[in-house]
């Protein structure tokens, strides 16, 4: 009864593949049972749309005449890293503009590029025999730039903590504005739609898996930074708090602003909302056992973001059904909740991906290699040369 990815791809080609999104599969399993669901359904689409700071773009501008080995590079006044070959740079999403500060950053440059807007490129160099030019100022856009692709070192977190604030003043964090004395609490996960919560041991999601990224078809390149397979899990396999992460890659020239958006968290800085969809093949009944999870089966920990330390005090755990109800209890107090990732957008991406598959525009891939099932989660200690 088990299916292979090859068989599922043949069904896509033949036009008789059955695809549901990760929300629809919950009801389907409840109505028809796990055995029938495993037989009937071929693919479940999962998705997420949330701020993912560890994102950025590799750009290759093509060579000017005379050529230049760029040393310092700015795109609309946002610095890009150019310690690579002559006209290769990496532009980080959270990099801030040197003229506009927190009002514009790397994510906005990427968004402008996707939208087809004109971007000012400025670079300086020391000049060499092979690259004589010492400075350049020109304009580029999506059509003229030689290559542009996202390479995001850490996206698609498998779960995340809830943030709250016990102190007496409002704090501004990457989890949003947190009001004093537990005035609110924010969270960030697509929950039952999240890719890695629906495949918690990464049976089907691995290196080389084809994904939907920002409107393009891209790939999982590696496990993400801070990938933590040893995070505490509950019986259904899901992690309590942050677990696995993915490094992903995709062509900017094929992306759309419907699925990727620059953002500013006031008082924190610039980041980028990434829309990512991952199809999960229903290989057998075991996959259905993972795919049946719903918001109330997924738990996370409430952390106090007013404590400016690596390890923050915690206030117990909650599930995503409670979080999405609009309020939770912290120390007996009713606290309003809000999400910083968009469930509505995640749902629309899961449906969009399901349609792409049904229209024979998206085929599944077999992972080339598994994501690590064991990985040390290290911290940075401040040590002298003698202590290390």
Partner 1 sequence: MAKRKLVLTFPEDIVTKPITYRLVKDYDLSFNILRAEVTPDMEGKILLELSGDIPKIEEGINYLQESGVTIQEAARDITVDKKECIHCGLCTSLCMTQSLTLDPETKKLLFDKDKCILCGLCSNSCPVDAIKLKM
Site residues, partner 1 (CB under 8 A): 49-51, 176-177, 179, 181, 183-186, 261, 263-266, 271, 273, 324, 326, 334, 336-345, 347
Secondary structure element (H or E) that encloses residue 94, with its range: none
Tell me 29's DSSP state. Answer: H
Q: Say how many C-beta atoms besides its own lie within 10 A of residue 361's C-beta.
A: 11
Shortest distance, CB of residue 346 to partner 1, whole angstroms?
A: 9
- For the four alpha carbons of 30, 33, 38 and 39, in that order, the dihedral sign comes to negative
End-to-end CA distance of the chain: 55
* Residue 66 preceded by cis peptide, ω within 30: yes
Shortest distance, CB of residue 177 to partner 1, whole angstroms?
A: 4
| φ, ψ dihedrals at 40, nearest 5° | -75, -40
Instruction: With H, G, I as helix, E, B as strand and everything else as coil, classify residue 67.
Output: coil
Q: Closer to partner 1 at the Cβ: 162 or 356? A: 162
Q: Closer to partner 1 at the Cβ: 292 or 345? A: 345
| 53 annotated active-site | no
Among 327, 338, 300, CA closest to 316:
300
Q: Closer to partner 1 at the Cβ: 177 or 203? A: 177
Residue partners of 176: CB distance under 8 A and separation at least 6: 163, 186, 265, 338, 340
Q: Closer to partner 1 at the Cβ: 72 or 169? A: 169
- What six digits make up the tokens of 367? 């992972």
Q: Closer to partner 1 at the Cβ: 66 or 338? A: 338
Shortest distance, CB of residue 211 to partner 1, whole angstroms?
A: 20
Shortest distance, CB of residue 133 to partner 1, whole angstroms?
A: 38
What CA–CA distance (Å, rounded) separates 140 from 146? 10
Please identify which of the residues 1, 129, 130, 379 carries the catalytic annotation.
Answer: 130
Shortest distance, CB of residue 49 to partner 1, whole angstroms?
A: 7
- What six digits make up the tokens of 9? 């791809």
- What six digits make up the tokens of 375? 């990985």
Q: Closer to partner 1 at the Cβ: 15 or 266? A: 266
Q: Say how many C-beta atoms besides its own lie within 10 A of residue 16's C-beta.
A: 10
Neighbouring-strand partners of residue 210: 219
Shortest distance, CB of residue 245 to partner 1, whole angstroms?
A: 20
- What six digits make up the tokens of 188? 């960030």
Tell me 50's DSSP state. Answer: E
Neighbouring-strand partners of residue 147: 60
| φ, ψ dihedrals at 220, nearest 5° | -85, 125
Q: Closer to partner 1 at the Cβ: 181 or 361? A: 181
Q: Closer to partner 1 at the Cβ: 185 or 354? A: 185
Cα three-residue angle 339-239-381, rounded to 5 degrees = 90
Specify burial of residue 309 (Cβ count, 10 A radius: 0-12, 13-18, 19+).
exposed
Shortest distance, CB of residue 55 to partner 1, whole angstroms?
A: 14
Shortest distance, CB of residue 336 to partner 1, whole angstroms?
A: 5
Q: What residues act catalytically?
A: 130
């Amino acid at each position: 009864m088990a299916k292979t990815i090859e068989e599922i791809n043949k069904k896509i080609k033949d036009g008789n593949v059955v695809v549901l999104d990760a929300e629809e599969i919950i009801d389907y399993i409840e109505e028809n049972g796990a055995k029938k669901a495993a037989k009937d359904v071929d693919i479940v689409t999962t998705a997420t749309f949330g701020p993912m700071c560890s994102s950025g773009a590799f750009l290759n501008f093509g060579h000017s005449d005379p050529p230049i080995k760029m040393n310092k590079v700015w795109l609309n006044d946002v610095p890009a890293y150019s310690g690579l070959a002559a006209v290769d740079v990496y532009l980080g999403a959270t990099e801030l503009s040197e003229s506009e500060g927190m009002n514009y950053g790397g994510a906005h440059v990427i968004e402008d590029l996707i939208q087809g807007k004109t971007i000012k490129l400025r670079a300086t160099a020391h000049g060499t025999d092979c690259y004589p030019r010492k400075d350049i100022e020109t304009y580029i856009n999506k059509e003229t730039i030689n290559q542009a692709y996202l390479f995001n070192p850490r996206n698609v977190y498998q779960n995340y903590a809830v943030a709250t604030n016990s102190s007496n003043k409002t704090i501004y964090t990457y989890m949003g504005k947190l009001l004093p004395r537990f005035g609110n609490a924010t969270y960030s996960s697509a929950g039952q739609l999240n890719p890695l919560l629906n495949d918690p041991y990464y049976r089907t999601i691995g290196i080389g898996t084809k994904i939907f990224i920002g409107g393009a078809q891209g790939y999982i390149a590696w496990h993400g930074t801070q990938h933590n397979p040893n995070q505490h899990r509950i019986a259904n396999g899901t992690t309590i708090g942050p677990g696995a992460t993915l490094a992903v890659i995709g062509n900017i020239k094929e992306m759309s602003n419907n699925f990727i958006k620059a953002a500013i968290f006031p008082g924190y800085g610039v980041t980028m909302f990434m829309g990512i969809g991952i199809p999960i093949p229903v290989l057998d009944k075991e996959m259905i056992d993972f795919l049946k999870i719903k918001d109330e089966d997924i738990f996370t920990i409430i952390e106090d973001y007013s404590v400016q330390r690596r390890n923050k005090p915690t206030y117990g755990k909650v599930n995503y059904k409670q979080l999405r109800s609009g309020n939770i209890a912290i120390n007996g107090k009713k606290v309003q909740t809000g999400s910083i990732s968009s469930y509505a957008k995640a749902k629309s991406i899961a449906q969009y991906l399901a349609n792409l598959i049904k229209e024979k525009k998206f085929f599944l891939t077999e992972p080339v290699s598994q994501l690590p099932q064991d990985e040390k989660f290290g911290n940075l200690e401040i040590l002298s040369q003698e202590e290390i």
